[in-house]
């Protein structure tokens, strides 16, 4: 179940870690608890809404686009976000995130998650070092093997690096429902902290085996493609939200889609990607208020898929 941290205790916790001073805007003007979930392998709490960077942060050195992404990232932290997910596969995204984190100075709040993406299974340590340099971090919170590429060799090295204290958490990713059988075997056999996979209201394949297995094995789950790459917005068009959505603090379709995901009991975090401050604001709305219960989740599925 999600952990709801009362605002006062949340503030006290931040003060104890020194985060409150560096993270003041996260708390300004809101008298609500951010919804968090515990990472099963340690109990560390994470806000259930993070941020993806595929395409959206691949903006190179264009000053105007960098400024726009800076505003997105700034609001993300102000609204209590922590998990930022990237990959060497995402063009300049890692470099851009590193540059903007340096400008914004939110290193303490950041839960830095990236990936190893190389066929060369002897290149793991160098790949991690390259990403550290781009992000400007001394150690990643989470290092994932992108799309299971070369996973056997990389995972052995990532396990060593974690035991040496060079990484905090390790995991593997897939998306679009690919290679679920293989992922299931890895989750069964290997000591993973995290898996990342596609889960959203229109793609619920992971509910069958992978999400129950993650709960059984104590593996945190990150949902990628929470808006099915944006297609979910086309499905609902200008349709109004159901009247009862307000009861669970949903005031946008983005909130509807995200709260559906993070109300699944196996889910740790969803990572929507956006280029727009207004969209980021909507997405971070899902970090607050109540979550739908099982009956409401069924009604949500009916609305989107017709049952």
Ligand X SMILES: NC(=O)c1ccc[n+]([C@@H]2O[C@H](COP(=O)([O-])OP(=O)(O)OC[C@H]3O[C@@H](n4cnc5c(N)ncnc54)[C@H](OP(=O)(O)O)[C@@H]3O)[C@@H](O)[C@H]2O)c1
Least distance between ligand X and beta carbon 153 (Å): 18
Asked if 71 is part of the footprint of ligand X (rule: CB under 6 A), the reply reads no
Asked if 271 is part of the footprint of ligand X (rule: CB under 6 A), the reply reads yes
Least distance between ligand X and beta carbon 140 (Å): 14
Helix (H) or strand (E) holding 132: helix 124-135
Per-residue tokens: 247: 């009861």
Asked if 54 is part of the footprint of ligand X (rule: CB under 6 A), the reply reads yes
Q: Are 129 and 135 in contact (CB under 8 A)?
A: no
Q: Are 85 and 271 in contact (CB under 8 A)?
A: yes
Query: Binding ligand X by CB under 6 A: which of 241, 282, 297, 301?
Result: 282
Per-residue tokens: 88: 């060497």
Asked if 52 is part of the footprint of ligand X (rule: CB under 6 A), the reply reads yes
**Toward ligand X, which CB reaches closer, 100 or 271?**
271
Closest CA to 194 of 257, 266, 259: 266
**Toward ligand X, which CB reaches closer, 79 or 225?**
225
Residues contacting ligand X: total by CB under 6 A: 29
Contacts of 21 (CB under 8 A, 6+ apart): none
Asked if 283 is part of the footprint of ligand X (rule: CB under 6 A), the reply reads yes
Contacts of 237 (CB under 8 A, 6+ apart): none
Burial of 86 (0-12, 13-18, 19+ CB in 10 A): buried
Stretch that binds ligand X, among 18-26, 29-37, 51-59, 294-302 (CB under 6 A): 51-59
Asked if 203 is part of the footprint of ligand X (rule: CB under 6 A), the reply reads no
Contacts of 56 (CB under 8 A, 6+ apart): 69, 72, 93, 273, 274, 275
Pattern 246-265, ligand X, x by CB under 6 A: --------x-----------
**Toward ligand X, which CB reaches closer, 5 or 186?**
186
Least distance between ligand X and beta carbon 157 (Å): 19
DSSP, res 7: H
Pattern 113-152, ligand X, x by CB under 6 A: ---------------------------------xx-----
């Amino acid at each position: 179940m999600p952990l709801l941290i009362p605002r006062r205790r949340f503030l006290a916790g931040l003060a104890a870690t020194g985060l409150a001073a560096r993270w003041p805007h996260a708390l300004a003007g809101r008298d609500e608890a951010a919804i968090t979930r515990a990472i099963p392998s340690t109990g560390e709490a994470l806000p259930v809404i993070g941020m993806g960077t595929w395409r959206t942060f691949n903006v190179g050195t264009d000053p105007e686009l960098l400024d726009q992404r800076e505003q997105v990232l700034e609001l993300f932290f102000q609204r209590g976000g922590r998990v930022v997910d990237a990959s060497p596969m995402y063009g300049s995204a890692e470099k851009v995130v590193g540059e903007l984190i340096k400008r914004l100075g939110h290193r303490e709040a950041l839960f830095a998650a990236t990936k190893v993406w190389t066929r060369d299974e002897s290149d793991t340590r160098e790949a991690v070092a390259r990403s550290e340099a781009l992000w400007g971090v001394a150690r990643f919170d989470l290092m994932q093997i992108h799309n299971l590429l070369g996973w056997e060799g990389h995972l052995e090295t990532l396990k060593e690096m974690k035991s040496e204290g060079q990484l905090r958490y390790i995991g593997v990713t897939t998306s679009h429902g690919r290679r679920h059988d293989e992922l299931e075997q890895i989750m069964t056999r290997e000591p993973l902290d995290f898996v990342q996979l596609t889960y959203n209201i229109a793609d619920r394949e992971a509910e069958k085996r992978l999400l129950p297995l993650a709960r059984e094995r104590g593996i945190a789950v990150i949902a990628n493609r929470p808006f099915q790459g944006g297609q979910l917005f086309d499905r609902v068009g200008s349709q109004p939200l159901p009247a009862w959505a307000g009861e669970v603090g949903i005031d946008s379709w983005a909130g509807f889609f995200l709260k559906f995901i993070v109300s699944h009991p196996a889910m740790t975090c969803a990572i929507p990607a956006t280029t727009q401050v207004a969209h980021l604001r909507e997405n971070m709305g899902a970090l607050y208020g109540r979550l739908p219960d099982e009956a409401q989740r069924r009604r949500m599925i009916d609305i989107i898929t017709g049952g």
